A and B are shown apart, each in its own frame.
Chain A
Amino acid sequence: MNKIINDIRETARQLLAEGKVDVVIGYEKGSLPLKATPCFVHSPESVDLLIWDETCENNLAGYLAKTPGKKAIVAKGCDSRALAVLLQENQLVRDDLYIIGVSCHGVIDQRKIGAEVGEILEASINDGKISVKGMEGDKEYLFTELKDATCQTCRYPNPVIEDLHIGETIEVAQEAPAFADVTEMENKSNSERQEYFKEQMSKCIRCYACRNACPLCYCQECFVDCNSPKWLTGGVNRAENLFFQAGRVLHLAGRCVDCGACTRACPQGVDIRALNRKMTKDVYVMFNHESGISEEGKPALNEYSANDPEEQFLVKE
């Protein structure tokens, strides 16, 4: 068995046996091929359910505030960044957390497979190769071909906060964030861009999977659920859908950690990330801020300083 999985299980076993935590939140094998599912382990006897591979696509950080007691979490880079923001925003008590950090090479984007071989009947992952048996045919992929778009631009594959690191760390080139995808979108004409988002927004069914999968969408009352004032109707059309999606993105300004959980959760394949990425770029350009890269600091829009680049933003008395 893979050493990382073994170490995760042993760590979980110890933490639970010694009573240091009440629950370990990680991943187990899902019911569908190439699908892992979040797993809550409460006793040392069940730790062998835990797995780790390229199918562990959910961001687990969102579960923590809703889970009582002391908890351990298996965290990849993006989960840890979400934890950092949650800690900065006082949503979690650090002492109640044990972060089992694992470096991540990225997760699989299943949609690419489905489009080519239909429903997946069986699949296996071996040495960076993914063999898929589908209803419309079989195919072997290299992991790099199936890597989720988010993971392709990921700068933080290693957890930014952790209590224990399992496995190797991944070398990352020290360079400024690249936003080629955003630039491409910015270079489109207004009408092209409008067409693109019209199509994307017409797919949205307002199931709120994006919001609920997001580790940082934790408002007690989401603006879409508020009926006094009623910001938007339940109407499922492009305009209302865009209002929801754009509103959500703006609420995540300076907070979004670009984990891609929203886009992966969307059952309709809406390119939610296109909006998030533009906002992430703007925050970087305006505030030189990347969200959740350490436990210290605050989200970009929570910081007020006399040195703000915007003149007269705060004036010293």
Chain B
Amino acid sequence: MKISKEKFGQAFDALVAEYQIIAPVSDANGIAFKGVKSFSEVKQDYLNSKLPPKAFFFPQHEKLMSYKKEGKDVSVKSELKVENTVLFGIRPCDAKGMQLLDMVFKNDQYTDPYYYERREKSVIIGVACNKIAPTCFCSSFGISPAGSEGSDLLLIDLGDSYDVEMITEKGKALAARFEALSELSADEQALVDKIKSAVTPSKVDVSNTTSKLDKMFNSPFWDTLQEKCIGCNVCSFSCPTCHCFDISEEVRKNEGTRVRTWDACMAPLFTLHGSGHNPRDQKKARWRQRLMHKFNYFVHNNGAMACVGCGRCIKSCPVNMDIRQVIDGANKAELVVE
């Protein structure tokens, strides 16, 4: 089914009354996901945002609760604020990334109320990629540039209209507001099929990476891998699946807040114990953690790799550490007999 962009725009603008709408816009620094009030503000021709949209569910710096001591009384207040939200224009890699984050923040052992409440009250409208950047490699992970996993609705841009695919009940409910939906013409169907069959030209073979990493904890591979890394947090902060955080107290006199802040395995402080001991005191241990977590531990725990091939870390790394080359290097590394 398709909807003209004009009709879609009207439906989009009508959502503003009930939802906070997050969509790609063009800013001083490229493409960013930001709050919008009208479809006219939305950037339609874009590859992907510079930073992933994960911050709308898992903010970089988030107040969990605040507290105050007055005399002998202590009051504690929840800081959880949740709005009904529509995220529009999420690319298939990032939508898949949300599904991976769901596994961390909502599983049979634990549900994170902050993440989960926001996630529950959101609808994700994915938009398939018509153009593929040279650093995109989502096909390596079985994700398609027009993949629907993680989206509630998937749109495929046909120029003047969108092909609309309803993926979940939430998506269907939202699409019920769309007027004048019509069937695709044969030409449009052909275009949809073409976009759906696209694969990223850049691919990395991950078929045996997990089992290879099972045997690589003590490999000399890590010694040389880490040399050029400067240990900043760009790769983690720009990753749609990285989710490590730190919880700290921001206290002033008799009141304070408990905050959760993004942290990263590349930072030595992340694992520094109160005793002064640091189990990952060397960069090579930190890099091993990064790769193992994404391509081994996460697979063992959740049955999927924690990388969606969005390529942001490749583009933003100040020293051009290319995760594709890192995986390839691990695939080819000689195993040391222990």
Q: Which A residues fall within an 8 A CB radius of B?
A: 30-32, 35-40, 42, 58, 62-63, 67, 118-121, 135, 199, 203, 205-209, 211-213, 225, 227, 230, 233-236, 264-265, 267-269
Min CB–CB distance B222 → chain A (angstroms)? 14
Whether A236 pairs with B320 at a CB distance below 8 angstroms is: no
CA–CA, A313 to B188, complex, Å? 79
Residues of A with C-beta under 8 A to B246: 234
**Is B279 interfacial (CB-CB < 8 Å)?**
no
Chain A residue nearest to B324 (CB atoms) is A31
**Is B300 interfacial (CB-CB < 8 Å)?**
no
Min CB–CB distance A111 → chain B (angstroms)? 10
Q: Given contacts A38-B228, A207-B234, is CB(A233)–CB(B318) below 8 Å?
A: no
CA–CA, A183 to B247, complex, Å? 43
Residues of B with C-beta under 8 A to A118: 47
Pick from A121, A234, A235: contact of B134, CB below 8 A: A121
Whether B50 pairs with A37 at a CB distance below 8 angstroms is: no
Min CB–CB distance A79 → chain B (angstroms)? 14
CA–CA, A63 to B227, complex, Å? 8
Whether A267 pairs with B224 at a CB distance below 8 angstroms is: no
CA–CA, A264 to B246, complex, Å? 28
Pick from B29, B228, B234, B238: contact of A37, CB below 8 A: B228
CA–CA, A42 to B228, complex, Å? 13
Whether A209 pairs with B248 at a CB distance below 8 angstroms is: no
Whether A212 pairs with B231 at a CB distance below 8 angstroms is: yes
CA–CA, A36 to B228, complex, Å? 12
Residues of A with C-beta under 8 A to B250: 230, 233
Whether B325 pairs with A213 at a CB distance below 8 angstroms is: no
Chain B residue nearest to A23 (CB atoms) is B227
Whether B29 pairs with A268 at a CB distance below 8 angstroms is: yes
Q: Given contacts A58-B318, A119-B47, A135-B131, is CB(A203)–CB(B230) below 8 Å?
A: no
Whether A235 pairs with B230 at a CB distance below 8 angstroms is: no
B280-338 residues at the A interface, CB under 8 angstroms: 314-316, 318-322, 324-325
Whether A267 pairs with B238 at a CB distance below 8 angstroms is: yes
Min CB–CB distance A242 → chain B (angstroms)? 15
Chain A residue nearest to B235 (CB atoms) is A207
Residues of B with C-beta under 8 A to A119: 47, 133-135
CA–CA, A131 to B324, complex, Å? 26
A-B residue pair count with CB separations less than 8 angstroms:
104
Whether B320 pairs with A234 at a CB distance below 8 angstroms is: no
Secondary structure class of chain B's binding surface, majority of residues: loop
Whether B50 pairs with A267 at a CB distance below 8 angstroms is: yes
Whether A209 pairs with B232 at a CB distance below 8 angstroms is: yes
CA–CA, A120 to B325, complex, Å? 19
B202-230 residues at the A interface, CB under 8 angstroms: 224, 227-228, 230
CA–CA, A67 to B318, complex, Å? 19
Whether B318 pairs with A213 at a CB distance below 8 angstroms is: yes
Q: Given contacts A135-B131, A234-B246, A234-B259, is CB(A213)–CB(B320) below 8 Å?
A: no
Pick from A121, A264, A269: contact of B318, CB below 8 A: A264
CA–CA, A63 to B230, complex, Å? 8
Chain B residue nearest to A67 (CB atoms) is B227
Q: Given contacts A135-B131, A233-B250, is CB(A269)–CB(B230) below 8 Å?
A: no
Whether B318 pairs with A265 at a CB distance below 8 angstroms is: yes
Chain A residue nearest to B283 (CB atoms) is A66
Whether A208 pairs with B233 at a CB distance below 8 angstroms is: yes
CA–CA, A269 to B267, complex, Å? 22
Whether A213 pairs with B224 at a CB distance below 8 angstroms is: no
Nearest first, the 5 closest Cβ-Cβ pairs linking A and B are A265-B318, A234-B261, A267-B316, A37-B320, A209-B232
Pick from A30, A32, A36, A269: contact of B135, CB below 8 A: A32
Whether A267 pairs with B325 at a CB distance below 8 angstroms is: no
Min CB–CB distance B286 → chain A (angstroms)? 13
**Is B161 interfacial (CB-CB < 8 Å)?**
no
Whether A58 pairs with B237 at a CB distance below 8 angstroms is: no
Pick from A203, A205, A264: contact of B237, CB below 8 A: A205
Chain B residue nearest to A118 (CB atoms) is B47
Excluding A63-B228, A119-B135, A233-B250, 10 further A-B contacts by CB distance (< 8 Å) are: A40-B228, A63-B227, A206-B233, A213-B318, A234-B61, A265-B318, A267-B50, A267-B318, A268-B50, A269-B28
**Is B4 interfacial (CB-CB < 8 Å)?**
no
Whether B320 pairs with A30 at a CB distance below 8 angstroms is: yes
Pick from A62, A63, A227, A236: contact of B60, CB below 8 A: A236
Whether A236 pairs with B319 at a CB distance below 8 angstroms is: no
Min CB–CB distance B252 → chain A (angstroms)? 11
Chain B residue nearest to A268 (CB atoms) is B29
Residues of B with C-beta under 8 A to A267: 50, 234, 238, 316, 318
Chain B residue nearest to A60 (CB atoms) is B228
Whether A207 pairs with B232 at a CB distance below 8 angstroms is: yes
CA–CA, A67 to B314, complex, Å? 24
Whether B320 pairs with A40 at a CB distance below 8 angstroms is: no
Residues of B with C-beta under 8 A to A225: 267, 269
Min CB–CB distance A226 → chain B (angstroms)? 10
Chain B residue nearest to A205 (CB atoms) is B237
Q: B28, B51, B227, B233 — which one has the most chain A CB atoms within 10 A of its CB?
A: B227
